[in-house]
Amino acid sequence: MSLRYLVLFCSLAAVAGAQRYDIVLAGGHVLDPANNIDAVMDVAVSGSRIAAIQARIDPSDARKRIDVSGLYVVPGLIDLHAHVYGYSGALLPDDSSLVAGTTTVIDAGGSGWRTVDDFRRTIAAQSKTRVLALINIVGAGMVGEAAESNTEDMDPAKTADAIKRSRDFVVGIKTAHFGGNGWIAIDRAVAAGRLANVPVMVDDKIFTNTGRTTREKVLDHLRAGDLHTHMYNDRQLEVIDRVKGKVQPYMIEARRRGVLFDLGHGAGSFLWPVATRAMAQGFPPDTISTDLHSSSIMVQQSDMPNCISKMMLLGMTLSDAIRRSTVSPAKAISRFPEIGTLGAGSIADIAVLELQKGVFAFKDSWGAKRLGTQRVECALTIRDGALVYDRDGRGFPVWSNAGAYEVLP
Amino acid sequence: MRPLFLLLAASVSLAPAQQIYDLLLRNGNVIDPANRRTGRMDVAIIGDRIVRVAPDLPASHARIVIDAGQYYVTPGLIDLNAHFGPAGVQPDHNELPYGVTTAVDGGSASARDFETFKASVIDHATTRVLAFLRVAGDPDAAATTARKYNRLVVGMAARDATSVEAALKAAEQTHTPVMAPAVAATLRSGDIVTNTYSRSASPPALEQVRRRGVLLDGTQGAEGLWFRVAAPAIRQGLLPDTISTGMDRASLMLPRATMTTTMSKFLNLGMTPEQIIERVTANAARTIHRSDLGALSEGAGADIALLEIEQGNFGFLDSGHARLAANRRFRCVLTVRNGKVVWDSEGLAAPDVLKAGPYSNFK
């Protein structure tokens, strides 16, 4: 017995000494568009960083080896348009995003220059999810139609100042739901964007005779790098010309000039007839985002895997959808390659996705379903090197082999 | 004009005999333990009420017909213990997709801040949120608040052993149960012990209080369920009286304290689907003295869950993050709350896009 214990002790010591990696995700199909990786590889994490991606990593090098064969390993998803502060439908980030493989959420306009510090303190600092902000051109933030139409609270200088002193947190500007006439909201947002050198995301609500058009917006008022969100909505003559059924030439021209088109699914902005026609004519979103809030997370289930699944149903490859959910949004907010990649040395934000086969229903904002045969679901999420979500418990030992265990690492 | 008028009069005279259902769940495997009713039946809904539960109701008389043939049709589930409010989680997207239509907060609010809790959580939620009131020192204040909001406050919560006596005093004044985090000698018949299978639980002590009528809640939560405790206890017959998530910010992620996940753990620990569904419907309703909930009674509020049990290779974690290998799991495919479809993962109630239209954003 004593010899056996000695051998056991020595081998344990040897293993402990050799464990270079905290976590190894083994046998998954890695999709890392930033590094052109599309192959079965092992991914190693040390501390909060990605340590290695190799065809095979010795199991004895891993403190925790997680078998993810049959699953896709991708950079943590980046949701460029979500709502986690200010707005009455805001969700807490962790239980709405991390469980969906989204490791970074960008709050789209919930806070303004008056409230951005409160946002950081009460939500961002309390969340495991990386939370960044597009601050509203309205100083009070997204607190209702009246506030959002109050031009007196749209101050480009104060907005730019707030961005300059919080560049680690604020990545751009949002303007939305402006109910007044003319260009004040959009132009002041762009003016603040110029002062702080950040992009502007625009959700414009052109229902009535507002004295402005989408055409003028995307061609004359937005800059290269600014974002037109809710691209597949049906508000007016937006992406698709209703009579001809064709993508509007001015949208194609705006894209050529560098204006970015963001999905922003939400509860009212993803319509099958619009998305289907646009995709068939080669007009995909530059960035896939959810506009996730208390309404859209329910019946439409528009989290990132759901939006990715819908784009795949319309012909996008998984690899391309992952690019538009990682690299592209990271670049749009000038955070690439800090996030959006599995490159060695980058922060270990990782999603492990399951591509399910079967018959699935996907609902749009009108409430109509399209049936598809593939669905993406998140199986496991690593954020900043920590295993934060694990649908099937892959990363942990079976209880009956764990003795009188306490909380297992 | 006259023939049209006659036609109208004729159809009006037929109205009492022929009801038009807003929603008809057809041919589901109904499990309704409160009414001791199981089997293939249709469930018909008008407005926010269940109006008929019977086989072969006329589908032509329904606005929306859902084929429930592949699913269990159960009363909307009751999560007896969750943690909402400023330090907790949000109810709707963490409860409704898992079949829960009534969630009981396990003591986030005391008499002092109940009205804030009501305004910020209860009044905003689609989920019916009820509450155990945390008794913080003053039992009389808790009793006063409980009486004032007697449709919302269903009992008293003791956070720890030292507050059990105060909670009992408030509970005696209001004829409500106490929810306690561990066994206490003074708990009465009808009081509830949560965290039944915690790592510090003593099965003999649990058996003993159960003989006095104390109820045992199979709570998940951050501390409530350890497979090394629960597996042998359940094998020896110490089943929970109710099953709840105990969800809070920590446990919602790991070990994933949602309702169907927690139910799946007990399923793979050896309980039957019927036993589990009884615990999250009829038993939970009885525990909080709410016979109007947890049943598919004709005339009851239309809170309904469609569940299935999937086969496959799954795994579930406990409070210690240890894994239970599993070959079955509960999944909720559709939730009806107050007569409205609020969750529909398979699009059972949604029109196919080819039949939908004309599209307009101006609904």
Q: What is the pLDDT of residues B26-80, one digit of tens each?
A: 999 999 999 999 999 999 999 999 999 999 999 888 999 999 999 999 999 999 9
H-run or E-run covering B329: strand B323-337
Among the partner residues A360, A369, A388, nearest to B353 by beta-carbon distance:
A369
Q: Which of B226, B245, B321, B346 to mutate to test the interface with A (most CBs of A within 10 A)?
A: B321
CB-CB neighbors (< 8 A) of A405 in chain B: 228, 320, 322
* CA A231 – CA A222 distance, rounded (Å): 15
Phi, psi of B229 (to 5 degrees): -95, -45
Is the pLDDT reported for residue B321 higher than 70? yes
CB-CB neighbors (< 8 A) of B321 in chain A: 393, 396, 407-408
Each residue's pLDDT tens digit, A18-58: 689 999 999 999 999 999 999 999 999 999 999 999 999 99
Question: Are the CB atoms for A24 and A8 separated by under 8 Å?
Answer: no
- The whole-model pTM stands at 0.94
Exposure string for B318-327, b = 16+ CB within 10 A, e = fewer: bbbbbbbebe
Report CB contact under 8 Å: A298, B347. no
Which is nearest to A353 in space by CA: A380, A374, A385? A380
- Interface size A-B, in CB pairs within 8 Å, comes to 138
Q: Where are the alpha helices (DSSP H) in A205-259?
A: 214-216, 249-257
A167 CA to chain B: closest CA distance, Å? 28
Among the partner residues B93, B356, B359, nearest to A297 by beta-carbon distance:
B93
Q: How far is CA B6 from CA A363, B9, B13, in A?
A: 43, 5, 11
Is the pLDDT reported for residue B6 higher than 50? no
Is the pLDDT reported for residue B5 higher than 60? no
The pLDDT value given to residue B160: 85
CB-CB neighbors (< 8 A) of A404 in chain B: 228
Q: Three-class SS of residue B81? A: strand
Q: What is the ipTM of this complex?
A: 0.93
CB-CB neighbors (< 8 A) of A297 in chain B: 93
The pLDDT value given to residue A207: 59
**Helices A156-164 and A184-196: crossing angle, nearest 10°?**
30
Is the pLDDT reported for residue A234 higher than 90? no
Report CB contact under 8 Å: B361, A368. no
Each residue's pLDDT tens digit, A96-113: 999 999 999 999 999 999
Report CB contact under 8 Å: A396, B321. yes
CB-CB neighbors (< 8 A) of B325 in chain A: 398
Which tokens sit at B299?
Answer: 């005339």
Q: Which of A390, A394, A408 to mutate to test the interface with B (most CBs of B within 10 A)?
A: A390
Among the partner residues A96, A361, A367, nearest to B93 by beta-carbon distance:
A96
The pLDDT value given to residue A8: 45
The pLDDT value given to residue A290: 98
Percent of chain B with pLDDT over 70: 93
Q: Where are the alpha helices (DSSP H) in chain B?
A: 2-14, 91-95, 114-120, 139-148, 164-174, 203-211, 227-235, 259-268, 273-279, 282-287
Each residue's pLDDT tens digit, A193-215: 999 999 999 998 665 568 888 89
Which tokens sit at A179?
Answer: 């109910």
Percent of chain A with pLDDT over 90: 86
Average pLDDT over residues B228-236: 97
Which residues lie closer than 8 Å to A118 by C-beta, 6 or more apart? A111
The pLDDT value given to residue A19: 86
CB-CB neighbors (< 8 A) of B97 in chain A: 298
